[in-house]
Amino acid sequence: MKISEILKYINGNPEGDIEKEINNVAKIENAKEDEITFISNPLYQKYFSTTKAGAVLVREDFEYKEKPENLTVIRVSDPYLAFLELIELFSKEEDNYIGISDNCYIGEQCDIPDDVYIGNFTSIGKRVKIGSGTKIYSNCTIENDVEIGSNCIIYPNVSIYHKCKIGDCVIIHSGVVIGSDGFGFAKQQDNTYKKIPHKGIVVIEDNVEIGSNTTIDRATIGETRICKGVKLDNQIQIAHNVYIGENTVIAGQVGISGSVKIGKRCMIGGQSGFVGHITICDDVIIGASVGISKSITKPGIYTGYRGKPYYKALKEEAAIKQLPELIEKLKKS
């Protein structure tokens, strides 16, 4: 489309030819004259004078001495978010899959609209409800009494256990398991372990995205709940009866033990771990590889081995670095 048409989607102020045809988006280093790119991080400003792109998104206060002759500059409030809009715009696939494959199994008493897609070798149990526009790709297993909302995308090899509930506009990537039993065993007098039954469910609210190979365990009693807008990375373990508040984002390889409650708008770095039965308040940022052993009641940034407030953790780290010097002084005293 022409740059003049693109401007309708991103609300930008152009400098240059707006009748130029743009066919795709690209990185600034290797963009071509029919592609659009962006500069958000200052590290990439060095490519501005050499880029071959047809157009570039920059911040409203972006300064330059000279621009390439054929480059159209578009000033926007946030180049990164504007570029994301264009990625979606240019990557819309003609994905009009509708219908149920002859190679899948559908159980009795299911409620499945005509505009749903179900791929090869997917198994749908009894009394399953699926909303309009949802796509379930090949080799998925949807067990009895599961409810799935409208306009969901469930990629291949996903397993959703019985009675779990999925909201609208949920994206579930390959290898995800929702509703498996939690890790619960009671030690007996003879030192063997008796399995604790898990009779609860998992509830996934609207607009949640779940990365590949993430597992979300069903509740012992009640529900494990992932609230609307939550974004989960790949390979995350969420145990039984966990509650994750709205618009929280969690990076890969995080482990959350049973009955943890995490508030709204939290950001959790990769490989962090949570002990069971603690509460994290709203608006908490937790760094990568942090162990959280106690509840957090104040918003802020928490880092370090035991999840302490950011500046306190920095002071302790600085003090530890001084230990060898202090030990030498003590030896000489």
> Would strands 72-76 and 123-124 be described as parallel, antiparallel, or unpaired?
unpaired
pLDDT, residue 318, reads 80
User: Is 277 annotated as catalytic?
Assistant: no
Q: 162, 173, 240, 277: which is the annotated catalytic residue?
A: 240
| Residue 106, both tokens | 């559908």
Fill in the amino acid letter for 97. Answer: Y
Cα–Cα dist 328/333, whole Å: 9
Residue pointed to by tokens 């949807």: 142
What region does 317 belong to: left with phi over 0, alpha with psi -120 to 50, or beta?
alpha
Cα–Cα dist 73/38, whole Å: 9
Cα–Cα dist 20/185, whole Å: 65
pLDDT, residue 95, reads 65
Residue pointed to by tokens 């390959």: 174
Find, among 182, 140, 184, the residue nearest to 159 by Cα. 140
Q: Which domains does the chain have, with CATH numbers?
A: 3-90 (3.40.1390.10), 158-313 (2.160.10.10)
> Would strands 209-210 and 201-204 be described as parallel, antiparallel, or unpaired?
unpaired
Helix and strand counts by DSSP (H, E) for the chain: 4, 37
pLDDT, residue 309, reads 81
CB neighbours (10 Å) of residue 187? 9
pTM of the model: 0.82
pLDDT, residue 325, reads 85
| Ordered per-residue pLDDT tens for the chain, 333 residues | 999 999 999 989 999 999 999 999 999 999 999 999 999 999 999 999 999 999 999 999 999 988 898 999 999 999 999 999 999 888 775 567 899 999 999 999 999 999 999 999 999 999 999 999 999 999 999 999 999 999 999 999 999 999 999 999 999 999 999 999 999 999 999 999 999 999 999 999 999 999 999 999 999 999 999 999 999 999 999 999 999 999 999 999 999 999 999 999 999 999 999 999 999 999 999 999 999 999 999 999 999 877 778 777 778 778 888 888 888 888 887
pLDDT, residue 94, reads 54
